[in-house]
Amino acid sequence: MNLGGVPVDRRIFGEGHYLRPNFFQSIRCQRVLLQGVTLRNSPMWQLNPVLCSSVVVDGVTLSSHGANNDGCDPESCNGVWIKNCRFDTGDDCISLKSGRDRDGREANVPCRNILIENNDFADGHGGVALGSEMSGGIYNVLASGNRFSSPNLTYALRLKTNARRGGAVERVMLCDSVMDHVHGAAVHGTMLYEDGRNGDSLPVFRDITMENITAHGGDYGVFLEAFPEVPITGLVMRNITIDGVRQCLRSMNWKDAVVENVTINGKRFPRPGYVRILGVPCIGGTVTASAESCGAQEPLTFCWEASEDNKNWTRCGGGETIAVPDGAAYLRASAANPAGDRESSRSYRVLPAPAQGAAPRLYCRGMLNAPELERGSEPVTRLEAAQMLLPLADDQLPAPELTDTAEEAARRAAANRFFPLEKGCFAPRRTISRQEMATVAMQACGVNYRNASSTMPVCTDVDRVANNYGTNAARALYFGFMQLEADGRFDPERPVSRKEAVEILDRVADFAGL
């Protein structure tokens, strides 16, 4: 049988359905079974049950690689069982939804009681995605026994929302699954999708459980962040092994998470992270150590070491705060948890006399060659910024050969995509506009948002911000890397001064845990 260009082996649809070519949508149906169907090259979402109950999607193959080609998107449905299917899509494979913004909140019909098991997820942005249209809430989701088999899959489990959505994602479990390879993260959740913090309807992530998972590859092992006003609560990570990732974990605004038997890149979690020294290390001065842990209320102990040559280190104290000892040229701190897992800060240069401000901090962290800035009001060049960015660059990435400079800093900046190239040229003497600097800041801060859609900053001159810079400008403002002018302008084309570049990159380095 052939229906609308789609080969159909068996079809049993509830009352009130309608079909478009290569597209199936059912509305307000009960006891819907879709079995043994192959759908190819849909113009948009391929399966979209809306306000339905008791839906079974069994043994369906969905193959479509266009823009916004989700596979199966149950929307405000109650009781959905998706099993034995294969997804090969241009966007999310499965995306649970419950309405967008005010319309979704006023309708207030959640997507709930969802079972997803024994499916094969190949290409797609997210394997099992929740949102971003989730304003009516998403509750009681179990994804078990699935296989994520393609290196082109960005995220296995994906939560995405923002402050315009509202709604809650609650009681979600991803378990007993193998992720052969992902190139974004095994688990990725953010409230900074699209409009980010630009709204007054804060969403909620609550009672998210991940257990019995094996995964390989990606930018991150686990990436989960929330707004500080609504931290993630009830988070459980148990019996997880992930390897081959560039960064192990991003845990922003977790509250009392349970982390048990989790290993990422051979490191046991929970463990200390983002260990750094606050203040400017100088002889006779006092500095403080800072660190974070993803575990619930895990106490950390600190140890300090000093060196004259950045090679031979001597213990010089304990506790969070220390007076910098005489004769120290370098200082570093380490943090340890009760299980004995320890992480250290980078080594910081020690100044001979007290100093304050962004430039001395960058100097101590190895991002400047001198603790002062000359001609601070002059525009910074791309090469000068690249030299400051070296400690924030991933030196494992292959550095390209450039046609107009052999400077290592320029090659590393190009490898990390801090700056775009034009026909192999770095343009080392070119100045940097503020909207370009926003992209530099977001590329260097250590947080990667793949497939996170786009937005624009809230500013009085938003019409002057180029579309391709808008999202990074909005996020750089949210994270505090950059600020608006006093009259609310972003001033996107204005060249960034050396002094301004130092202040921005000081904030970026703090955020990155340098």
End-to-end CA distance of the chain: 62
DSSP annotation string for 454-506: -----STTGGGS-HHHHHHHHHHHHTTSS---TTS---TTSBPBHHHHHHHHH
For residue range 226-258, list pLDDT tens digits in order.
999 999 999 999 999 999 998 899 999 999 999
Least confident of 22-31, 161-170, 261-270: 22-31
Q: What is the pLDDT of residue 40?
A: 79
Joined tokens for residue 418 = 């801090």
- pLDDT of 98 above 90: yes
Instruction: Choose between 61 and 376: higher pLDDT.
Output: 61
Q: What is the pLDDT of residue 434?
A: 97
CA distances for 190 relative to 131, 222, 383, 451, angstroms? 10, 11, 33, 12
How far apart are alpha carbons 365 and 278 in whole angstroms?
11
Q: What is the pLDDT of residue 396?
A: 85
C-alpha triplet 417, 420, 422: angle, nearest 5°: 140
Q: 421 with 403: CB under 8 angstroms?
A: no
C-alpha triplet 435, 436, 438: angle, nearest 5°: 65
Reported as a pLDDT band with limits 50, 70 and 90, residue 443 is very high
Provide, for the chain, the percentages of residues in helix, strand and coil under a 3-state DSSP scheme, each rounded to the nearest 5: 15, 40, 45
Closest-CA residue to 50 (of 70, 33, 30, 69): 30
Q: Could you count the other beta carbons within 10 Å of the beta carbon of residue 155?
A: 30
Joined tokens for residue 240 = 């997880």
For residue range 500-510, list pLDDT tens digits in order.
999 999 999 99
Q: 330 with 311: CB under 8 angstroms?
A: no
For residue range 31-86, list pLDDT tens digits in order.
777 777 777 777 778 888 999 999 999 998 888 777 778 889 999 999 999 999 99
Least confident of 23-32, 209-218, 294-303, 381-390: 23-32
How far apart are alpha carbons 301 and 380 in whole angstroms?
40
For residue range 282-332, list pLDDT tens digits in order.
998 999 999 988 876 778 999 999 999 999 999 999 999 999 999 899 999
Joined tokens for residue 385 = 């910024």
- pLDDT of 494 above 60: yes
Q: What is the pLDDT of residue 461?
A: 95
Catalogue the E-assigned strands of 111-252. Answer: 111-117, 120-121, 124-131, 138-144, 147-148, 153-160, 168-179, 185-190, 204-225, 232-233, 236-252
- pLDDT of 12 above 80: no
Q: Which domains does the chain have, with CATH numbers?
A: 2-269 (2.160.20.10), 273-356 (2.60.40.2700), 382-512 (no CATH)
Instruction: Choose between 376 and 139: higher pLDDT.
Output: 139
Q: What is the pLDDT of residue 122?
A: 85
- When pLDDT is averaged across residues 384-394 and rounded to a whole number, the result is 93
